[in-house]
Structure 1
Amino acid sequence: MTNLPETADYVQAYNKDRPTDPKRSALIIVDMQYATGHRDGPLAKRMKEQGLTTTDWRFARIHGSVIPNTRRLIDAMRAAGGQIVYVTVGAGQENCCDAPPHMREMFRDMDNYEGATAHKIIEELKPQKVDHIVRKTSIGAFASTGIDHLLRMLDCESLFMTGVSTNMCVETTAREAADRGYAVTMVEDACATTHEDLHHNTMRNFQRLFGKVRSTDEVLERLA
């Protein structure tokens, strides 16, 4: 079962379950890069230097839940014959000129551009050659990448969302996918954000209409 508060009152009258064909499924791993997705990255170091604890829950959850659960999902998706798609966020150039105005300062502060250490996918979830990687400069992947074309060429219909941040890039990409007809599942214990309440509220809202919220164990059962 998902690890959501018992008070979560989901309204699912119009959110019907759809069957999962593992061979037509994709695990979408969002922004698991050193920039903001690892306790050794720029965001974590900056918070520590400033003596701030704002991101403590984020990084504890990333390393205690998101990384190990995503590893399990990767192994299961490979075994089931599905696809692994990594989504990264960051600029294409060091001056971040290709990023939207509201994203440029963050990319510059995090040294998050293609080729930089901060931009790399973390070692714990390192992709294999057969995996797919798309780089976005926007919050949602569908706005600035060819991910929709890629998924359709791979004949994917079911998407399982993991990564960071729950209420930002993961949710926006998941909503964009739902609006394009994909069967979308947010894997609750394989996502993280800065504040616990934002995480749970995002899951509560998403399951009202956009798609399903499931635990890693529940997803593994469907892939099996």
Structure 2
Amino acid sequence: MNQPLPQRNEPFRPGETALLLVDMQRIWLEPGADPSHPERGPDHYFYRHTAAETIPNQERLLKAARANGVEVLHTIIQSLTEDGRDRSLDHKLTPIHIPPSQPEGLPVTSLAPAGDEIMLPKTSSGVFNSTNIDYVLKNLGIRYLIVVGIMTDQCVDMAVRDAADRGYLVTCVSDACASATQERHDTALNAFGGYCWVADTDTVIARIEALGKSA
């Protein structure tokens, strides 16, 4: 007998929910740190938007997740070797290389891993392609994956689609993600929205806090 299918926006379940932060690294978020975009000054849309909205919303989500038993995972773009010989071909061609010793490659202080939270370095746009995150999430018993991060139209997009293809019920928190322009952000959400539940920070925090009440 066929079981009824779940809904993408169904309530999270205790012990089965995780929050994934994608690429919230100093090198991308601190003005002047990104060698690929020296033209972007402190007044660039991306820096202003992430400082005013994206990072504060992620801080709120992190606080709620940690207080209500939600697993927290971080992924960052980082080579396994100092010379980057292990990078994907795409990252070699781009080129993108952040060695393990580069402090700017770590998450911004307010979003850094706490305790034994898991951080997975990747060398591709898709965290499911160049890390063992699927194996880790399944070992943790995760079914509901909340995704936030940068860039909405690149690495966040890949995380959402790949997670959905692997059987996770994915939530993308729209105002806890960002791209280089508002247009790129909005276009991406419209494009991959069919793979996930798109909700805002307040709505997702309420869902997370409900886990604590049901425990």
- TM-score using structure 1 length: 0.84
Structure 2 stretches of 5 or more lacking a match? 1-5, 210-215
Q: Deviation at 1:42?
A: 2.5
Equivalent in the alignment of 1:8: none
Is contact 2:8-2:169 (8 Å) kept? no
Amino acid in structure 2 at the alignment position of 1:135? P
Q: How does 1:16-27 map to 2 (within 5 A)?
A: 16-27=8-19
Match of 1:72 among 44, 57, 60: 60
Q: How does 1:42-121 map to 2 (within 5 A)?
A: 42-43=34-35, 46-48=38-40, 56-104=44-92, 105-108=94-97, 112-121=98-107
Match of 1:162 among 119, 142, 148: 148
Match of 1:210 among 171, 195, 203: 195
Distance 2:122 2:72 in 1: 16
Are residues 126 and 40 of structure 1, via their aligned partners in 2, closer, same or farther at CA, if it must alter by over 3 Å?
farther
Distance 1:30 1:19 in 2: 23
Percent of aligned positions with the same letter in both sequences? Answer: 29
The secondary structure found in structure 2 opposite 1:98 is coil
Structure 1 stretches of 5 or more lacking a match? 1-13
**Superposition RMSD in Å:** 2.1
Is contact 1:32-1:38 (8 Å) kept? no
Is contact 2:163-2:170 (8 Å) kept? yes
Is contact 1:107-1:113 (8 Å) kept? no
The secondary structure found in structure 2 opposite 1:150 is helix
Distance 2:68 2:160 in 1: 22
Distance 1:15 1:23 in 2: 18
Amino acid in structure 1 at the alignment position of 2:136? L
Q: Deviation at 1:44?
A: 8.4
Are residues 169 and 163 of structure 1, via their aligned partners in 2, closer, same or farther at CA, if it must alter by over 3 Å?
same
Equivalent in the alignment of 2:131: 145
Are residues 65 and 27 of structure 1, via their aligned partners in 2, closer, same or farther at CA, if it must alter by over 3 Å?
same
Is contact 1:22-1:223 (8 Å) kept? no
Distance 2:32 2:145 in 1: 29
Are residues 43 and 165 of structure 1, via their aligned partners in 2, closer, same or farther at CA, if it must alter by over 3 Å?
farther
The secondary structure found in structure 2 opposite 1:68 is helix
- TM-score using structure 2 length: 0.87
Q: Does 1:219 align with 2:204?
A: yes
Distance 2:126 2:153 in 1: 11
